[in-house]
Structure 1
């Protein structure tokens, strides 16, 4: 690293400028990754939080698996409950409506299921819950609703139960209620109202194909069911494409810099080769130089992204996690080293006598 340190001290401005570029790209990629994580959570968290191993859809003839179009019947729920290996079947109804309290109103997604009991606050009387709706605390504050207040949901009054659990579905806050209350929101009698939207099934060793055939349904894992959410695939695909392009730009910028830099130090490399320096030693020196530059730029970029996220977190969905911070940083460093290795290798393979002769 002796030569590398000397070069960095002798061309400080040049290396600082490249480090700034690396920092800006890292900050942008990291911030975008955290934003993607937040947007994804606001799209699917209510589904991924379901305590189930499989999600069962009722698919119309000639249709595709979709939360919007799925309808399951009581007969299908019974068929799954009787399948070997099934431990629990929970019917889940999903719909959209508005909560209204005075002049305040908010569009929400309603999840109707017996699973709503798990979101009740500690000490809540679980026996007196007829017609209650479990509202996340943040949404209750927006509506200026306290526990026990009555809000209009689907044009009918429902008692508010405030919960600390916050979930989202299709970028709308989720409120939980009983399956019977969810059915009443449709304004039809129980005889003609849909039984549920999907089934949340738990168990092990289930013959999935046999259970689907017996019930006339299609089932998949909880993660696999996300593709049945219309906005999920297109949203995530477009955002990941942006991140991928930024990573490609990062590799090209760093690779181009080191390619130019390697060509300019061609004479120095030739002298070192003539003095007996091995290709491995030269590559180690060059990649060490690149690593110092990349790590410095990435650290600054992470600091910029974290500061920006803290300022914007009040108004933007953002997720801080190793996947949204450390992973982009590691990928940026890896791609930068790859670009530097390709650029440096083309110079270290030159015959030293030829390189020295070309500089006379």
Structure 2
């Protein structure tokens, strides 16, 4: 590394320029990744955080919750060995009024047993006690001025429901989720379209937990319905896959750009130093030593740039508007940092080939 560091000190401006490019590329990778994860959470965090791993859906639903209608009595067929934590879920999009304010907000209503495992624990406030009049809401509604104890009015008759608590990370189709017990859901007009008779209410889906080994038998027992995984549901959410595919493609191109920039830069530098490499080889320097110094330069420059880009990204995150969906978890940062280092090393392969090809005699004669 002595030779690598000495050269970096001697050619500060040259390496500073390429470092700036790598820094900007890495910063863009982390920013776009944060936006991709933020949009993913804003569109589907309520589904991502559901503890059930399988969904019973209408066979014609195409794995879309809003298109599915399943009789509640299907739960009777799930009361078998190996099936645990069965819960029904109805999903409706509503426009609600914020208490006494003349302000409407769009919400996604999740109606499920308020004592069941599908309802998350409130981060603030209390769980639902009065099943007919109380709700839990996503904490993003705080930005609209909603507080614990306030009311949300829903339905054609502006039926009031009291906010008992806030839950974190519960968004669906870019709208905040409101959790309500089916007892309260019956008061709203949306339930009429989901009822064939008083004895056979319908829901959007039935969610349960089980081992993968039981699924084949369940599919045969419920042949008139579809059994989908959480991944199937997410993939078929409106715009979810399209948003993620577009942003992930941008990230992929940025990795390619990073590799290309480093490949061209170090290839040109290697050609310019061909005579120097020849002299060093003539003095006894091994190709492996010269290659190690080149890789050391690449690793050092890229590592410093990646670390700086991470610091800048988290700094920018602090000043972003609260309403902007941005989420960057440490695991993603580590993975993308490793990929950036890997593509940087891959980009230096052309330079390594040139170093290996340098002939001491030819290089010295060429420099005369």
TM-score by length of 1: 0.90
Cα 1:357–1:43, aligned 2, differ >3 Å: closer, same or farther? same
Deviation at 1:85, TM superposition (A): 1.2
Give yes or no for contact 1:43–1:168 (8 Å, CA) kept in 2. Answer: yes
Alignment correspondent of 2:162: 160
Distance between the aligned counterparts of 1:292 and 1:203, measured in 2?
Answer: 48
Q: Does 1:178 align with 2:175?
A: no
Give yes or no for contact 1:145–1:160 (8 Å, CA) kept in 2. Answer: no
Distance between the aligned counterparts of 2:144 and 2:303, measured in 1?
Answer: 43
RMSD: 2.4
Q: Does 1:14 align with 2:21?
A: no
Alignment correspondent of 1:111: 110
Give yes or no for contact 1:135–1:160 (8 Å, CA) kept in 2. Answer: no
Give yes or no for contact 1:150–1:157 (8 Å, CA) kept in 2. Answer: no
Give yes or no for contact 1:26–1:298 (8 Å, CA) kept in 2. Answer: yes
Distance between the aligned counterparts of 2:193 and 2:42, measured in 1?
Answer: 33
Residues 175-231 of structure 1, C-alpha deviation per residue, up to 9 Å, x if partnerless?
Answer: 011124335341627742861111110133652122123222222332343112132
Q: Which moved more, 1:198-207 or 1:236-245?
A: 198-207
Give yes or no for contact 2:53–2:230 (8 Å, CA) kept in 1. Answer: yes
Q: Which moved more, 1:191-200 or 1:327-336?
A: 191-200
Distance between the aligned counterparts of 1:305 and 1:321, measured in 2?
Answer: 12
Deviation at 1:298, TM superposition (A): 1.6
Alignment correspondent of 1:57: 57
Deviation at 1:87, TM superposition (A): 1.6
Q: Flag as ranges the 4+ runs of structure 1 deviating above 6 A.
A: none
Give yes or no for contact 2:44–2:172 (8 Å, CA) kept in 1. Answer: yes
Cα 1:114–1:265, aligned 2, differ >3 Å: closer, same or farther? same
Distance between the aligned counterparts of 1:99 and 1:10, measured in 2?
Answer: 66
Q: Which moved more, 1:23-32 or 1:348-357?
A: 348-357
TM-score by length of 2: 0.89
Find 2:320's aligned residue among 312, 315, 333.
312
Alignment correspondent of 2:235: 227
Cα 1:88–1:2, aligned 2, differ >3 Å: closer, same or farther? closer
5+ long unaligned stretches in structure 1: none
Find 1:349's aligned residue among 345, 357, 361.
357
5+ long unaligned stretches in structure 2: none
Q: Does 1:131 align with 2:133?
A: yes
Residues 249-295 of structure 1, C-alpha deviation per residue, up to 9 Å, x if partnerless?
Answer: 01101111001001101111111122222221111111111111112
Q: Does 1:76 align with 2:80?
A: no
Deviation at 1:312, TM superposition (A): 0.8
Deviation at 1:41, TM superposition (A): 0.8
Give yes or no for contact 1:107–1:172 (8 Å, CA) kept in 2. Answer: yes
Distance between the aligned counterparts of 2:281 and 2:310, measured in 1?
Answer: 38
Q: Which moved more, 1:50-59 or 1:233-242?
A: 50-59
Deviation at 1:310, TM superposition (A): 1.1
Residues 106-148 of structure 1, C-alpha deviation per residue, up to 9 Å, x if partnerless?
Answer: 101010101566446588475422132222344155154541x
Residues 13-59 of structure 1, C-alpha deviation per residue, up to 9 Å, x if partnerless?
Answer: 00111111111111111111111111111111111211212122212
Q: Does 1:196 align with 2:203?
A: yes
Give yes or no for contact 1:151–1:158 (8 Å, CA) kept in 2. Answer: yes
Alignment of 1:252-267 (within 5 A): 252-267=260-275
Alignment correspondent of 1:151: 152
Alignment correspondent of 1:270: 278
